[in-house]
Amino acid sequence: MRDTAQASPTNQNIILVAFLCLFACVSSCIPFASPPLKLSLKGGVAVGEIASEGEDNVREITSSEIMQVRGELKPLDLFPSLFERNYDFGLGYQGELYELYSRKRMFTKHGPYLSVSYFPWVWKYSEKDKVSLFLNPSPTPACSFLRFGLHASGDLMLGDIGSGIEVGGGATFGISFEIVYLYNGRFLETGYNGWAYGKSVIGVNISTGYRYIHDRHYATVIFGLIMRTPASVGLLFSTEKKMKDE
């Protein structure tokens, strides 16, 4: 009887989620937290022995369109004393979508990677110059600058071509031009309130890569956008509630 009267862990989780949803609706605010992240979306071409043909594993040189998505954790942004460093590293996961021109066929490759970056050129600009740029962040950052970066990563690739899972690897090298905003403290704006530490970045990147999967070699050239968010924690408020309070 004692066991049946006790709530199961599943029921306790459901009750907790329901309570949090009710609290968010009543108070018109939602708590949020985010680690320091880097995201990128790029497209380009791949050339080489991208895939095998049929059961005979026929090798051929072909070309393909490629779309790449990357998400990456940036742990050094958790340490304020390292905010203005000119180097960085991260651990992430990527997915690549290929469309072969010769066969009208699509397939994917994905896997984790470890990246390192070095920024040989950094230019800080004053607050009065910030308005001349197309991005005007809110809240006001503690520091703003432009930078040019060199990037490299070691990639572990898992493929869905052939029988079973194909395991391979490779490397990626690239350059970037970035607009960077450095946050270090509390922000209070209409609709949200909290703390942010680290870098907010928007930029462009061009990179070339080498892939080796199941005895096949090929190269990639891709171009696209990168975005980075600082570590943050706070509350999102209803706009109507905020206006009434004011």
pLDDT above 70: residue 173? yes
DSSP the chain: -HHHHSPPHHHHHHHHHHHHHHHHHHHTEEEEEE--EEEEEEEEEEEES---BTTTTB---EEEEEEEEEEEE-GGGG-GGGTT-SEEEEEEEEEEEEEETTTTEEEEEEEEEEEEEEEEEEEE--HHHHTTSS---SSPPSEEEEEEEEEEEEEEEEE-SSSS-EEEEEEEEEEEEEEEEEEEEEEEETTEEEEEEEEEEEEEEEEEEEEEETTEEEEEEEEEEEEEE-EEEEEEE-HHHHHHH-
Q: What percent of the chain has pLDDT over 90?
A: 33
pLDDT in tens, 69-111: 999 999 988 887 777 788 999 999 999 988 876 666 777 889 9
pLDDT confidence of 191, banded at 50, 70, 90? low
Task: Name the more confident of 156 and 104.
Answer: 156
pLDDT confidence of 175, banded at 50, 70, 90? very high
Task: Name the more confident of 219 and 55.
Answer: 219
pLDDT computed for residue 4 by the predictor = 46
Question: CA 128, 130, 131 angle in degrees (round to 5)?
Answer: 85
Q: How far apart are CA 143 and CA 125, in angstroms?
A: 8
Phi-psi map region of 107: left, alpha, beta (phi>0 left; psi -120 to 50 alpha) = beta
Supply the pTM of this predicted model.
0.74
Task: Name the more confident of 103 and 207.
Answer: 207
pLDDT computed for residue 237 by the predictor = 62
pLDDT confidence of 132, banded at 50, 70, 90? very low
Structural tokens at position 201: 């970045």
pLDDT in tens, 16-31: 555 555 555 555 667 7
The residue extents of the domains of the chain are 29-245
Q: Choose among 198, 196, 187: nearest CA to 83.
A: 198
Q: What percent of the chain has pLDDT over 70?
A: 63
pLDDT computed for residue 202 by the predictor = 93
Q: How far apart are CA 128 and CA 89, in angstroms?
A: 31
Q: In the predicted model, what is the mean pLDDT of the chain?
A: 76
pLDDT in tens, 31-81: 767 889 999 999 999 988 876 554 445 566 677 889 999 999 999 888 877
Q: How far apart are CA 112 and CA 19, in angstroms?
A: 36
